[in-house]
Amino acid sequence: MTIWISLTGRETITSSKSVTTSFVSIDRVVIVGASLAGLRAAEALRDDGFTGHLTLIGNEPWEPYDRPPLSKSVLAGWLPIDHTTLPQLRDIQAEWILGVAAVGLDRQNHQVHLADGRLVDFDRLLIATGTRARPWVNQEEAALDGVFTLRTREDSSRLSTRLASGPKHVLVIGGGFTGSEVASVCRELGLPVTLAERGPTPLVGALGQAAGTVFAKWQRQYGVDLRCNVTVMALEGDTQGRLRRARLSDGDVLEIDVAVVALGAIRNVEWLHDAKLAADTRGVACDASCRAFDEDGMVTDDIFVAGDVARWPNPLYNGMLLSVEHWGNAVEQAKTAAHNMVCVPSERRPHKYLPAFWSNQFGVNIKSVGLPTIADEIVLTQGTAEERRFVAVYGQKGRIVAALAVNAPLLLPAYQALIEARAPFPPELYAADGPLKLRPVSAGFLPHGHTTHSPGAASTGPGPSTPEVQPIGKDADMLADPRIPLGPKSL
């Protein structure tokens, strides 16, 4: 089988062997998680010739839908919520179990336990349960009317309705991609909005302070009341349980009626609690073929992982186990896992995903390729921040590891090639719209756990048995509590 990989990262299969010689006999495949990864895995299974029984289990009652628009066009009121259902790219002939959560996995008997008591048998299992939004730490405050998280279509629908009703002041807690996009929509709708971020800039988790400083400026230009190095200490409600106020660590008390909690994501691994897999808050560890590891570091034969919930070794980053919340990874890893589930071992292929994500906010398109979070330096290579169009490259120990394109998506493919080639940093480009002299600066990433939003992509240790990294120099509880400020962190 020849696979041609284009500059833009897609695989095109240019020839394939007959299905009967490359196939393992499997009767039942179960996919737990009926979102993007689950759906694409189901399609890939059928594409790869699997003809047995296929079950898709999802805890939400909806057919798979796309999440990115939930914090953008749905929230803005432009896209109706039921217009987010994902297209099925082919017939999958699956048994759908929607609105029922998986609550346990019995590996010995090859069964998934469902919340309604059912047991679902499998020959092969794909774990694609993804993540959920981290709720506000204080449960009482979180239950106030007006406090929202944003992950599901129901969340988006409710929040969109609330924003359309013209709240007096919105507070967004957490300045990652989700929080920033929500703040952007609020400004589009003409709503006063405060964004509180514990780190020194918005997007510092994913893109570092140097880039984050640019975005901070733009947010303010758009009218966001941006508070960095600030946390929300408490949310207060009235006697009817409606949100009324927020107390910030800078001493300010805001009169607010809507708070959007955008503190990152929690991997949905609780249902695997007794399964003795290498599963923890970082996700489920798997090998390059997406087979799950057990807690002893042994790879399983019949359990695969794909999407936000997976951690897998990425060859481009020295085999470090990578965990991303990327749309592109959900799609690619689902296809790889599905293929590897049903083919003969000699035809398995490794999951070789180059991290890539995008965001649209404050009138700009932000795209990134590679893994910025491991970088120590960043340099502007094309365009300027003033013209709101630029490309910046991230380097780690003298090698290019990522690139960031703002309002310049057409420029990114060239950098993808440099990243894959591990080209030297800073790159010698002499671009026509580049600065006369490249001036690398510190990228400004914070130690693990310091931000109150998801970095979106994280290197999570070199092996499946590597324990979770403990934050250095601070009490772990303090860092885990998003209400506790850390003080300014300068470059």
Task: Provide the binding-site residues for another protein, judged by CB under 8 A.
Answer: 4, 6-10, 12-16, 47, 66, 68-69, 72-73, 78-80, 82-91, 327-328, 331, 356-358, 360, 363-365, 367, 381-383, 387, 389, 407-414, 417, 428-434
To the nearest whole angstrom, how small is the minimum distance from the Cβ of residue 310 to another protein?
Answer: 18
Length of the chain: 491
State which residue, 100 or 414, has the beta carbon closest to another protein.
414
To the nearest whole angstrom, how small is the minimum distance from the Cβ of residue 101 to another protein?
Answer: 26
State which residue, 19 or 253, has the beta carbon closest to another protein.
19
State which residue, 203 or 411, has the beta carbon closest to another protein.
411
State which residue, 128 or 259, has the beta carbon closest to another protein.
128
State which residue, 107 or 389, has the beta carbon closest to another protein.
389
State which residue, 16 or 442, has the beta carbon closest to another protein.
16
To the nearest whole angstrom, how small is the minimum distance from the Cβ of residue 384 to another protein?
Answer: 9
Euclidean distance between CA atoms 262 and 182, whole angstroms: 9
To the nearest whole angstrom, how small is the minimum distance from the Cβ of residue 393 to another protein?
Answer: 11
State which residue, 38 or 434, has the beta carbon closest to another protein.
434
To the nearest whole angstrom, how small is the minimum distance from the Cβ of residue 359 to another protein?
Answer: 9
Q: Say how many C-beta atoms besides its own lie within 10 A of residue 191's C-beta.
A: 18
Q: Say how many C-beta atoms besides its own lie within 10 A of residue 367's C-beta.
A: 19
To the nearest whole angstrom, how small is the minimum distance from the Cβ of residue 409 to another protein?
Answer: 4
What six digits make up the tokens of 189?
């709708």
- Positive or negative, the Cα torsion across 443, 449, 450, 456? positive
State which residue, 375 or 408, has the beta carbon closest to another protein.
408
State which residue, 89 or 234, has the beta carbon closest to another protein.
89
To the nearest whole angstrom, how small is the minimum distance from the Cβ of residue 49 to another protein?
Answer: 9
State which residue, 363 or 447, has the beta carbon closest to another protein.
363
Print the SS3 string covering the chain. Answer: CCEEECCCCCEEECCCCCHHHHECCCCEEEEECCCHHHHHHHHHHHHCCCCCEEEEEECCCCCCECCHHHHCCCCCCCCCHHHHECCCCCCCCCEEEECCCEEEEECCCCEEEECCCCEEECCEEEECCCEEECCCCCHHHHCCECEEECCCHHHHHHHHHHHHCCCCCEEEECCCHHHHHHHHHHHHCCCCEEEEECCCCCCHHHHHHHHHHHHHHHHHHCCCEEEECCCEEEEEECCCCEEEEEEECCCCEEECCEEEECCCEEECCHHHCCCCECEECCEEEECCCCEEEECCCCEEEEEEECCCCEEEEEHHHCCEEEEECCHHHHHHHHHHHHHHHHECHHHCCCCCCCCEEEEEECCEEEEEEECHHHCCEEEEEEEECCCCEEEEEEEECCEEEEEEEECCHHHHHHHHHHHHCCCECCCCCCCCCCCCCCCCEECCCCCCCCCCCCCCEEECCCCCCCCCCCCCCCCHHHHHCCCCCCCCCCC
To the nearest whole angstrom, how small is the minimum distance from the Cβ of residue 438 to another protein?
Answer: 12
To the nearest whole angstrom, how small is the minimum distance from the Cβ of residue 335 to another protein?
Answer: 13
To the nearest whole angstrom, how small is the minimum distance from the Cβ of residue 84 to another protein?
Answer: 6
